[in-house]
Chain A
């Protein structure tokens, strides 16, 4: 059991990251922390792809290196996904700046109170 887990420690990390991210998304009232949670969630998925591509003892996919090779495709996919993640974070933070200037707080419950008082 322990051995099986030790072999898959990266996958364990993946699902830990997914769990932490989800918890922050749901459990945290602070909007910035929600965005951080979203980032952690995505990072978990990035790690999943990279782990899946990795082969123990394999070399980078260069013609000069001996086989077997590490699969390069997931790396390329994740590069794209990281770019998407950065743009999402940028848009989210831009929105948060607007929300802060409008309501004067980043706390979800406090904002709900401000809206209810209007």
Chain B
């Protein structure tokens, strides 16, 4: 199984086609096939990860064209983390989507395509190959956002498509500049060639600027985050959870790859302006993202702006550029994916059970839906960074890294970000636990009775806003909440495992 790096990309694509073909024969066969594909993916990803966490990364030459001329797949600890994260989250969200929908086969085909694109971005060692996977990811994400009902999701998807395409195009232009400067596309080769060209060359600096600007759009750093709130709010709940957990996360991983594997730390040291741009992006994202999150009335939009702020932290860690901060970035990427995905699923669960999608509607939720309120609180506090949740460890490492590097403005903002995160989550926690429900709600019971009777509506029923609530949905939400805490305990060992990878990144 030495072809494993290629297989983890190919398997979901094969699954996607299988789902599509099965849909021609029989409708609604997508879910079981997608689960099989996701299970295979988890197996492949874990096997691959077990090999990648070593002294040397796993290298795979595609099609026998040797690097640097052909495409190379490189899997180190960080890539392996992303591959496993993508596979596990995809499987988890499937558990939620069985009843919550969307249920068409084409949805699951695109779902698996997104998994393939994200996995490809994670394992590739070639910048143009990364662009192609970035676009596959993008296309699948646009289509998934549009799978919601009504004009709102279509409009959100179009906005996402236009902004996302501009971002990816800037990334492509950056690749063009780097290629003109060096004549190579292989990441490892680029890093030596770029150094040979010289970090003062305008071509090299422009390439860095364009690549980073393109990825900023995909990560949704303020002020190029505009696609994100509309897309997350307009998409169906399962899709919001999946893309909020994975798409920006893998884009942030790509940013780490570009900055450290392609341009290397020396470039950052030689070009203070590049570092300033990263710091500025991080600080503005953290502060403005949080401020905008506080002003939202709709729960999913608030969570979207929260993502803008949390990814500001990761960009900050990249700007700090030392081992501690990068370990923190990796941990925070994983932690954020689990917690934010979980929060979106919980908001979907609450919306299906009670029809509530606004922050004011969460008043007295603890009585009406204890499971939902409990999971939401655990995940929200994890996001704020209350120990022992994983959110705390990630932020701790990033802050510690900023202090070690003596980048004080950033260190202050990172510590402040915890308070800012608390500012927007405490509004909900207070409404859930310390206020009376606005109206007597019989809705919960009717929904639960309906679910118990095994009746499933298409979400187009007369009782507006109410949808099915299944055991799978509750279980997924609870698993996310448990993981948010459990990962926090396991994460120090993970940090140690990641050590060789981080050292190689910073070498």
- Residues of A in contact with B (beta carbons under 8 Å apart): 22, 25, 31, 34-35, 38, 41-42, 45, 48-49, 52, 73-74, 77, 80-81, 84, 87-88, 91-92, 95-96, 98-99, 102-103, 111, 115
The 8 closest A-B pairs by CB, nearest first: A102-B151, A98-B154, A95-B158, A84-B135, A52-B180, A99-B154, A95-B154, A45-B173
Say whether B158 contacts A45, CB under 8 Å. Answer: no
CA distance A76 to B138 in the complex (A): 21
- A41, A49, A98, A111: the one contacting B146 at CB < 8 Å is A98
A74 to B161, CA, bound (A): 25
Known contacts A48-B173, A48-B176, A102-B151; A77 and B139 CB within 8 A of each other? no
CA distance A38 to B138 in the complex (A): 15
Q: Is B277 an interface residue (CB 8 A)?
A: no
In the complex, what residues of A have CB within 8 A of residue B158's CB? Answer: 31, 92, 95-96, 99
B165 touches A98 (CB 8 A): no
- What's the nearest-Cβ distance from chain B to residue A30, in Å? 12
Interface SS of chain A: helix, strand, loop or mixed?
Answer: helix
Return chain A residues, CB-CB under 8 Å to B138.
88
Is A35 a contact of B142 with CB atoms below 8 Å?
Answer: no
**Docked CA distance A22–B166 (Å):** 9
Evaluate contact between B151 and A99: CB separation under 8 angstroms: yes
B161 touches A45 (CB 8 A): no
Q: Which chain B residues border A98 with CB–CB below 8 Å?
A: 146, 151, 154
CA distance A61 to B324 in the complex (A): 48
Q: Note all chain A residues with C-beta closer than 8 A to B142.
A: 91, 95
* B396 partner residues in chain A, CB cutoff 8 A: none
Is residue B302 within 8 Å, beta carbon to beta carbon, of the partner chain? no
Nearest-Cβ distance from residue A103 to partner chain B, whole angstroms: 6
Give the chain A neighbours of B176 by CB distance below 8 A. Answer: 45, 48-49, 52, 74
14 CB < 8 A contacts A-B = A25-B162, A41-B166, A48-B173, A49-B176, A73-B185, A81-B131, A88-B135, A95-B154, A95-B157, A98-B146, A99-B155, A99-B158, A102-B154, A103-B151
Bound together, the chains give a CA A96 to CA B135 distance in angstroms of 20
Say which size band chain B's interface belongs to: 20 to 34
B96 sits at the interface (CB 8 A): no
Which residues of chain B from 170 to 209 have any CB-CB distance to chain A below 8 Å in the complex? 172-173, 176, 179-180, 185
A22 to chain B, nearest CB (A): 8
The answer on a CB contact under 8 Å between B143 and A91 is: yes
Known: A45-B169, A95-B146, A96-B158. A84 touches B151 (CB 8 A): no
Residues of chain B whose beta carbon lies under 8 Å from any beta carbon of chain A: 128, 131-132, 135, 138-139, 142-143, 146, 150-152, 154-155, 157-158, 161-162, 165-166, 169, 172-173, 176, 179-180, 185
**Could you tell me if B132 and A42 are in contact, using CB atoms closer than 8 angstroms?**
no
Q: Determine whether the beta carbon of B172 is less than 8 Å from that of A45.
A: yes
- Report how far A31 CA is from B143 CA in the complex, Å: 17
Complex interface: chain B residues within 8 A of A45 (CB): 169, 172-173, 176
List A contacts of B173 (CB < 8 A): 45, 48
Residues of B within 8 A of A96 (CB): 158
A-chain residues with CB within 8 Å of residue B135 when the two chains form the complex: 84, 88
Contact across chains for A35 and B162 when beta carbons are under 8 A apart: yes
Inter-chain contact B132/A87, CB cutoff 8 Å: no
Once bound together, how far apart are the Cα atoms of A103 and B173, in whole Å? 35
Contact of A88 with B139 in the complex, beta carbons under 8 Å: yes
- Please give, as numbers and ranges, the residues of chain B lying within 8 Å of A77 by CB-CB distance: 128
Cα–Cα, bound, A35→B158 (Å): 9
Nearest B residue to A22 via CB reads B166
Q: Considering only CB atoms, which chain A residue lies closest to B161 in the complex?
A: A92
Complex alpha-carbon distance, A74 and B71, angstroms: 15
Smallest CB separation, A87 vs chain B (Å): 6
- Say yes or no: B162 contacts A34, CB within 8 Å: yes
Give the residues in chain B near A87, CB-CB below 8 Å.
139
Are A91 and B128 in contact, CB atoms less than 8 angstroms apart?
A: no
Query: Are B169 and A42 within 8 A (Cβ)?
Result: yes
Name the CB-closest residue of B to A88: B165
A-side contacts of B143, CB under 8 Å: 91
Point out the residues of chain B lying under 8 angstroms from A88, CB to CB.
135, 138-139, 161, 165
Contact assessment for B179 and A42 in the assembled complex, using a CB-CB cutoff below 8 Å: no
Closest to A84 in B: B135
Q: With A and B bound together, what is the CA distance between A1 and B162 in angstroms?
A: 36
Q: Which residues of A have CB within 8 Å of B146?
A: 95, 98
Within the complex, the shortest CB–CB distance from B143 to chain A, in Å, comes to: 6
Cβ of A48: which chain B residues have Cβ within 8 Å of it?
Answer: 173, 176
A91-B139 in contact given A25-B162, A25-B166, A77-B128 (Cβ < 8 Å) = yes
B128 proximity list for chain A (CB < 8 A) = 77, 80
B150: chain A residues within 8 A (beta carbon):
102
Give the residues in chain B near A73, CB-CB below 8 Å.
Answer: 185
Complex Cα–Cα for A22 and B142 (A):
20
Closest chain A CB from B364 CB (angstroms) = 28
CB proximity of B64 to chain A, nearest CB, Å: 17
Roughly how many angstroms separate A92 CA and B180 CA in the complex, as a whole number?
31
